């Protein structure tokens, strides 16, 4: 299982690296002004619906159901189930796309009401949304194909698909001179990427003989069970997106650049969430579902503990860096072209606020899997509902004084509330058993993180002073040296505290205790 997490994490890391290159180009071409704000609203809209109906709710309901049907009824029965789900999914997405294209101005009025006072941003947001929204239909098909492949323990194609989004946008931005605005170029890059992703993941599904086809939907017992689990999962995903909608709505009333600052900070924050948290959850869901179906509860809990252990190991350095040197990171990565020092300061402060909730963000996927793998999609909704209420209430309270930084901080507090409730509910239901090894590992990793924070705090000033005479590459060089110092220190402390045998365990599959 750990090998598969590292496979998914590796492709996700490559996706994030190409994503950073994309964002560096976006920052240089678009900056953090009105055109950037309009594009990020247009990009966020299909992403909201994708998170609600596709990646979040769909995977939670489909993967355990498909794995169970294939395990109990064979591949043919599982294939028929996938065909019916494909038909239902395709029809619903076509209807949603038609409605969105017809009523795009109304959607922008709801999503970014502050744009109504700025005709330029408003009109551009409407135009760009009509280009990007079809991406939702395409990426929904990618999610279905990926869910089927994940159930077969094939993770590479689905994990690699987002790389195509980054490459497509980079190529489109390189040709921005041929479009009305750079925002139009980026939007068309998004749409083209959706087509490429469908071809990549669909081809892998076809090679495995599991590419779904159109089939008459039938409301049999399996479909009823899927819909019963899909409904609360959709509500849960929608609650998460409500908080993100709130970010966009509130930020649209703030000064130009607030939406962009949230975007750039969230992109960095999503690096460990995607590479570590989502990768672990993606692999852990079919792994735990398979073990639970086979009656191996102890093995399922052991797999979950090892996934959490690996998640903590890789997340701690990110939390420390984002809290201590966020503005330096923003300047080094994006500080060129239209992205100013002031933009970097705003985005850096927002990143630090997001970092407060980074640990619960990366752990939440592994925590919710313990419910999803057992077919329970309702319990996470209860925890998420409370977290969203806290999140949105804090946003309203903090927006006037702290602008987008207050929005990010509220998101972090909501994440802590969500994770705490998930762990408490899992423990109460008997689904969670934190073993001695995980407790000891968490304590040691906390000590390593504190040592790393102390060294970064002491070294940041002197290292920056070394490159005072450098101009163009001063921030890049400073960040590179601090990364080298921090990486060597953290790795050395981990080796000293755990020993080589503990790390070697991650090179093999997790074994049942």
Q: Which residue has the tokens 């997790």?
A: 510
Q: What is the pLDDT of residue 32?
A: 61
Indicate the pLDDT class of residue 313, thresholds 50, 70 and 90.
Answer: confident
Report residue 5's pLDDT band, with 50, 70 and 90 as the boundaries.
Answer: low
Record the tokens describing residue 24, joined without a space. Answer: 């560096």
pLDDT in tens, 325-379: 988 888 888 776 667 778 888 889 999 999 999 999 888 877 888 887 777 778 8
Residue 51: predicted pLDDT = 64
| pLDDT above 50 for 511 | no
Lowest mean pLDDT among 247-261, 304-318, 346-360: 247-261
- By the 8 A CB rule, do 362 and 315 touch? yes
The residue among 140, 121, 142 whose CA lies nearest residue 36 is: 121
Most confident of the following: 286-295, 366-375, 490-499: 490-499
Model confidence at 192, pLDDT cuts 50, 70, 90, reads: very high
Averaged pLDDT, 264-286 = 73
Residue 65 CB neighbour total at 10 angstroms: 24
Candidate from 139-143, 258-262, 464-468 with smallest mean pLDDT: 258-262
Rg, the chain, Cα only: 22
Cα distance between residue 89 and residue 213, in whole Å: 12
Q: How far apart are CA 155 and CA 9, in angstroms?
A: 10
Confidence of residue 301 (pLDDT cuts 50, 70, 90): confident
Predicted pLDDT at 503 = 59
Question: Rounded to the nearest 10 degrees, what angle do helices 297-324 and 474-498 cross at?
Answer: 140
Instruction: Give tens-digit pLDDT for 139-168.
Output: 888 888 888 887 777 777 877 888 898 899
Distance CA 460, CA 475 (A): 11
Count of helices and strands (H, E) across the chain: 20, 0
Q: Which two tokens stand for residue 251?
A: 């930020």
The C-alpha torsion from 361 through 286 and 52 to 236, rounded to 10°, is: -70
Q: Does 502 score more than 50 pLDDT?
A: yes
Question: Which residues fall within 8 angstroms of residue 47, CB to CB, at 6 or more apart?
Answer: none
Q: Which two tokens stand for residue 457?
A: 């705090």
**Contact residues for 411 (Cβ-Cβ < 8 A; gap 6+):** 243, 247, 353, 354, 357, 391, 395
Least confident of 9-13, 101-105, 220-224, 318-322: 9-13
Helices 297-324, 2-30: axis angle to 10 degrees equals 30
The arithmetic mean of pLDDT across residues 22-39, rounded, is 77
Neighbours of 348 (CB within 10 A): 24
Query: Which residues fall within 8 angstroms of residue 68, CB to CB, at 6 or more apart?
Result: 289, 293
**Quick one: average pLDDT of 237-241?**
57
Burial 264-275 (b: 16+ CB within 10 A, else e): bbbbbbbbbbbb
pLDDT for 512 equals: 43
Q: Which of 231-240, 258-267, 419-428, 453-462 has the lowest mean pLDDT?
A: 231-240
């Amino acid at each position: 299982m750990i090998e598969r997490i590292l496979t998914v994490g590796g492709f996700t890391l490559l996706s994030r690296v190409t994503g950073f290159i994309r964002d560096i180009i976006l920052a240089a071409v678009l900056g953090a002004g009105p055109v950037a704000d309009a594009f990020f609203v247009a990009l966020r809209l299909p992403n909201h619906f994708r998170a609600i109906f596709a990646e979040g709710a769909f995977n939670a309901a489909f993967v355990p159901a498909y794995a169970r049907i294939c395990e109990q009824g064979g591949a043919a029965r599982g294939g028929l189930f996938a065909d019916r789900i494909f038909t239902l999914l395709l029809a619903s997405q076509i209807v949603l796309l038609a409605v969105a294209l017809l009523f795009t101005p109304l959607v922008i009025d709801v999503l970014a009401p502050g744009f109504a006072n700025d005709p330029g941003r408003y009109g551009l947001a409407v135009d760009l949304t009509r280009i990007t929204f079809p991406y939702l239909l395409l990426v929904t098909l990618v999610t279905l194909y990926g869910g089927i492949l994940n159930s077969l323990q094939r993770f590479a194609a689905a994990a690699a698909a987002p790389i195509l989004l980054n490459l497509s946008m980079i190529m489109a931005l390189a040709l921005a001179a041929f479009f009305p605005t750079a925002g139009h170029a980026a939007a068309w890059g998004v749409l083209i990427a959706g087509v490429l992703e469908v071809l990549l993941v669909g081809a892998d599904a076809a090679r495995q003989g599991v590419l779904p086809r159109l089939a008459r939907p039938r409301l049999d017992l399996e479909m009823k069970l899927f819909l019963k689990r899909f409904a609360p999962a959709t509500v849960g995903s929608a609650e998460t997106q409500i908080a993100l909608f709130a970010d966009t709505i509130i930020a649209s009333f703030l000064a130009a650049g607030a939406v962009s600052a949230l975007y750039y900070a969230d992109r960095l924050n999503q690096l460990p969430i995607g590479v570590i948290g989502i990768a672990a959850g993606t692999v852990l869901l079919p792994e735990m579902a398979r073990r639970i179906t086979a009656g191996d509860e102890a093995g399922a809990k052991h797999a979950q503990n090892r996934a959490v252990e690996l998640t903590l190991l890789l997340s701690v350095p990110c939390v420390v860096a984002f809290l201590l040197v966020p503005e330096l990171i923003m300047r080094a990565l994006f500080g060129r072209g239209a992205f100013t020092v002031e933009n970097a300061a705003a985005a850096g402060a927002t990143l630090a606020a997001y970092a407060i909730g980074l640990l619960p963000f990366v752990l939440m996927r592994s925590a919710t899997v313990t419910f999803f793998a057992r077919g329970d999609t309702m319990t996470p909704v209860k925890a998420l509902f409370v977290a969203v209420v806290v999140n949105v209430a804090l946003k309203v309270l903090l927006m006037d004084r702290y602008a987008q930084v207050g929005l990010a901080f509220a998101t972090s507090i909501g994440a802590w509330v969500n994770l705490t409730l998930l762990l408490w509910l899992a423990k109460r239901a008997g689904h969670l058993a934190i073993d001695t090894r995980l407790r000891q590992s968490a304590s040691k990793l906390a000590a390593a993180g504190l040592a790393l924070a102390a060294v970064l705090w002491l070294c940041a000033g002197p290292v920056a002073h070394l490159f005072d005479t450098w101009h163009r590459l001063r921030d890049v060089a400073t960040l590179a040296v601090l990364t080298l110092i921090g990486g060597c220190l953290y790795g050395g402390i981990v080796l000293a505290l755990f020993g080589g045998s503990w790390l070697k365990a991650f090179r093999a599959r997790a074994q049942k205790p």
